[in-house]
Amino acid sequence: MEWPGDFPEDHAFVELLVPGLSSELDFEQLLKDTEEKLNLNANSIERQLKELQAKMGDSRERPPSPSECLQWFNTKAHNSVRPGPTGHEELMDFFRALKQYLRSEEVGREEVTLQLLLHLSAQCGICFPCTPSSSSPSTLAAASIHLVHQVRDDASIEIQEAWDDVRLQLRRHLLDRLSSRCPDPPGPRHISIPERVHCLQQLFFLYPESEALTHYQGLRSQAVLVLLLSALSPSPGGETGFHRLAEGFRHVVPALTQALTEELHVLSRLAEPHTILGFLNVAYLNTVARELASLMERERETALRDNTTLSSKIKKYSARSRATVAPMEHPVKNRSFSLTFHQLRALTQLACTLLRFEGIVKELVTNMTVIDCTGETPSVKGILKKNREDLDATADGKKSTAEPLLHMPEAHVLEFDWRSAFRGLVPHMAHCVKVVLEDVCTRSLQQEEALHSSGHTSVSLSRTTGHTAIAAGSTRLREDSFYTYSERETPKMIDKFCGAIMTELDALLPLAAACRDSSLLEVRSSFVEACSRAAFAMLGRLQERALQVPSSAPLRNLPALLATCMYAHQRLEHYHARLKDSNTAAKVPLTLLPIQKYQDTVEALRDQLTAYCIRVCSTCILQDAESHHWADPKPFYEGERCSFSVQMWFYFLCGLRSDLWAVVPAETAKEVLGQVLSETLQLLVQRYARARPSYKRHMQIRCDITALLLYVEQLMWSVCKSPEALVRSSPSTAIAIIAGGSDWLYQIHSLCDQLLTVLVIVTAPLSSLYRIFMNNPAKESTPHQPDVVHWLNAINPDLFSEQAIRDGLMGQAASACQLRLLNSDPGCNPRLLLRMLLYKDCHLPRILLENSHVCQESCSGVSAESCKAGDDLKVALFNLFSCLNNVPKALTQILQPYLERSHIWEHLYTLADTTQAVPVVISCVRSIVTKSSNSLLVHLVSMVVAWQTTEEPSGASFKQNVPESVLAKIPKEWNYTPLEAQGKETATKTVISVIIQALSFIFTNLPLAVASVPLPIRFLFQVAEKHLSQHARQLRLMGLLLWALLGCLIQGLEDSDTLEQISGLALDRGVKEPLYLLAECLQATMGIQQKGVPKPTVQKVLQALEEKRPKWTNMQLQKARKLCSDSVFERGKESGVAAAELTEQKIGLMLLEVCHKAGGSDYLRQIYHIIQGNEELLMFELSGSTNSPNNPPHATNFDLGCESHADTDGFNPLHQFDHIGKKKLHQSAAVDWAWDWPRLLPAYQGMSQVTFKTLLANRWEMQDDAELEDGEKCMVEELQKAYFVCCCSRGPQDPPKADETPAEQAHGGTQQSDKRAAQ
């Protein structure tokens, strides 16, 4: 084992990790820095070897070669150096003196002895025998490590025994320190990681690594056992039995995790990875498994006694009671008692806790070693077959060394066989799982049947728990999230009886997942069988209830049944994924799970829902004889309203949307609504294309189609997923439809265009129609096919202008469109939300901040709740945009108005000052910068602690405590010279050396520390620097970010609490003072004026560093500052926040980046709810001064209220009857709608002649009995001659029959034009 000496001043740590690199320049800088560090370290090693050669060459015949020098550090190269003689009596006298000194009562004698032996080894080249305790003299020579001098090969047994006595006493002392039982100070104490490492290094000096680790392993095993017993002692809550075990292990797992983490930190510095695995297997995991098995066996015997007695007394009670014992179905072999429901729950919680702990251990080992323990293949093996005696080691190390205990096994996998503790309960658990699930299923079905029989035909709903937070005591595992669907794919509400059954299945899933060993598969099989039976029972009941719609159950039951079936299907897929194992596929009947049957039922229920809605519209709602009596010479309701059927059609679709939005997943809800809208709209198109109204009724067609287009435009916000889908019809969708596919959005656009065509041709003023089609006829050779979604432009030309429909929505219109789409969606749409937040230089979030109290000059009169809510919004926006490295300017664009109005730029200059109160945004910035500075700080503390460990033992206290009687017995041949007390000058040189080393480390890794700061934060500092011109002199050299970063580093170096918190060590004065001095040196480097008289040591450090590396500090500062500017501009030039550049792929990547950050999804949801609550304000700001309400809102409302508007708005029949969205629709508005005929009619000059003639024939003027004025008669005659008279015959051509062909021709003509457009 090589001992850590003084690191050379010009070495560099390569292992400093960077949390995230944001740009190509960051990666290039990382590679360059790593290459420089490797070259630096290579030169340092070469220089040290040369110095070692020069020192060792003085006592040898020839100087050793570099390869021979490297062999000195190889513990397996024993015979490379010729040994030197040492007298037998001299050795014995020395060992006797050591033994006599160790038997004295002097305080600190063991430490003094250890330091003396280490100095003899380091100064004189003496290596004392590091052999196993039981080795013979013949093995002594083979196991010894030869340096310059060596104990003679023919050492007698007497010498070996004397040496064994010395190191045994030292071993006891070290083991006492490692076991936290140090006599000075007395009592138990927590031993730090560096102290543990130091003790183990000293133990490795005395004994072979395997034996030293074996003794240490025994100590840790005892400590784990004590920890388990203390946690499993009788609890204050009075839990007993398996419940006490479950609670005890739940509380002990955090302590075990902390102990394992510390152990990995210790062992990773001393041993190889496979040796570490073997140590953890025996000391920790095997101890836990053994104790668990013992406790489980004890509790099983108690349950056998209690449950057998209890079950004989309560046979008369129902087996379905949760408090009773699960009854026996059939006599089962080796089953002597039955588990209760509560006992099964406790066992499930225990298994879940252990599964969680096993995953944590695998992750810890994988992260801290080079061994991957997190794969899907099980890497846990059983070790309980070993004899317990082989693993027991006493704290004092007195166990016989001849036993197998001394062998430190290497391991390639974790061996945590906690599952074997459940083997004795397998038949009982399997039986209880089956009975409990059958009991819950039967009871839930009976309760549902009783409720239904009592007259409650509506489905009772319960909210799903798929996306709720996992409580500490929950039986849900983190692995469950790997298989769950996204929030938009998960139903919101399901049938209550199915929710109760699925909750019980979810609760028992961890127990089934844990039972993957062959001896435990009976439990998994029992769960699968019971789950299959419950799933079939639920499916049967769902199908039964679906058949009752509409005869004896309302329509709103169908969406609830569809959502329930979808949720059960998703959960069954999750169970299959969690329980699937190639090794146990033949033994666990996963094919029993009716996954495909549920999939088929989902499709059937969806088809039933859409078909029923379409049938209701076609056979009931749209059948209104009075409204559709087109030949009636009387106007419909005096021409003051649209048809009742049209109004009720929209009313019905709004109710359907409310039912779907409340329970069905978002995407499915939009598809169902879109399909019903498209199919029913087609019926309306056919109806109005065939209508031949009278003079009094032709205005009703215009009013009906106007209302229809207004209604559809309102529903399109709920059906569309993006602004592009709202305003454009893609040619690819036309090709898909021609090929037999379906696209509801494209069909809706097409049908609305057809409705508008009917409105224009059938109801346009005759004079306007005549002027366009007779005076300016379109040429047949150049038919005009409009490329725009014309109906939207016609119904709302302000929002959907021709340019917007052709090129896409831009500017404020696009923002308003995105906002309305977002608020019309069934739930939070993360893609659309992120896109909307980034659009137009983050215009919308800036509106939220600018119209809130946070941007006001004074916050007087603002409640504390509003202030806190405003701070929460700023934190959510900051945490969301600070991780978006693809759009580095977004964060600054959002915060800049707030920072300017509130005069907060100055706080970034004094970011390191923690004494003054700062705004919450500054606190967020400080946390990120401090995180980067702490990555340097933790290494600096380790560096100084290591220096203290190596330097202080050679101080004056040690040399004064070495007794003269021991120094006099050191053999003369060793040429040992006692070290004199270090003077003040020598100590100062040593401190200067470590400070130079620390400064070199800081400036070497400063570019990497800057690279770990996210790009948005770097850009924020760069903009802030332009606002701080008063500090230009101080910031000229390093810039604002480096100023803040080094300031936070200095603050951390001066704060002892911070140092101890990030290092986890209790630091003494010997560590703190060099760190304080380092802080002063950094302040001098930054040009900060020192308080009082500058220390000479600071000037010496800076002068020595400058002499060693001239201008190197300034070069490193410039290199780091380059990452604060160029990398931001580089990424900003490549990825702006313009709408054209925000492709779906970029939005998806940024969304992944957000969701992978802790709390990212919660921040998105929080911002979404605030936008929902301020829709009126945002719409007012986006629309400008036009169409503004009488009392516009002036301040942002931060009250989140309920989780979504879907929960609060609901469907209000009285309100929805005469409203379109939130606006009231007056029937007169549809009647008096001002159509721009001169703009509309020319667009139809190139339409299909068949369609035009069919619709023209439907006009009231073309009917034989029409009463026309003279001018109208002339225009009608000319139109008939132009379009209805065949050139090869004298008589007029008969128009198509109004009740047979026009609708088909209109529809077919449009389809032909669509096909031509697609081709």
Q: What is the pLDDT of residues 1273-1289, one digit of tens each?
A: 899 888 888 888 754 44
CA distance 762 to 747: 22
> Residues in the chain with pLDDT < 50?
1-9, 17, 76-84, 135-154, 183-187, 310-336, 375-406, 467-473, 482, 736-741, 779-788, 953-960, 981-984, 1135-1140, 1186-1188, 1202-1208, 1287-1292, 1295-1319
1102: three-class secondary structure by DSSP: helix
**Angle 341-368/241-267 helices, nearest 10 degrees?**
0
CA distances for 610 relative to 664, 685, 924, angstroms: 14, 19, 50
Query: Radius of gyration over alpha carbons of the chain, in Å?
Result: 42
pLDDT of residue 854: 61
37: three-class secondary structure by DSSP: helix
Neighbours of 1241 (CB within 10 A): 20
pLDDT of residue 339: 85
Q: What is this structure's pTM?
A: 0.81
The DSSP call for residue 493 is E
Give the containing element (helix H, strand E) for 1128.
Answer: helix 1126-1134
pLDDT of residue 811: 79
pLDDT of residue 716: 93
623-630 long-range contacts (CB < 8 A, ≥24 apart) are 627/700, 628/687, 628/691, 629/697, 630/691, 630/692, 630/693, 630/694, 630/697, 630/701
Cβ contact 956:982 at 8 Å? yes
pLDDT of residue 565: 97
Paired with 149 in beta bridges are 126
Using a 10 angstrom Cβ sphere, with 0-12 exposed, 13-18 middle and 19 or more buried, the burial of residue 929 is buried
Cβ contact 1131:890 at 8 Å? no
For residue 239, is it left (φ>0), alpha (ψ between -120 and 50) or beta? beta
1224: three-class secondary structure by DSSP: strand
Candidates 140, 152, 136, 138; CA nearest to 83 is 152
Alpha helices in 454-550 (DSSP H): 496-514, 521-547
Give the containing element (helix H, strand E) for 495.
Answer: strand 493-495
Paired with 1292 in beta bridges are 1285
To which residue do tokens 């049908």 refer?
751
pLDDT of residue 1063: 74
pLDDT of residue 399: 39
| Residues 321-354 pLDDT 10s | 444 344 444 443 444 467 888 889 999 999 999 9
pLDDT of residue 744: 83
pLDDT of residue 1200: 62
pLDDT of residue 132: 81
pLDDT of residue 384: 33
Give the containing element (helix H, strand E) for 668.
Answer: helix 666-690
Paired with 1220 in beta bridges are 1223
Candidates 826, 58, 213; CA nearest to 488 is 826
Cβ contact 520:296 at 8 Å? no
CA distance 825 to 1220: 16
pLDDT of residue 479: 56
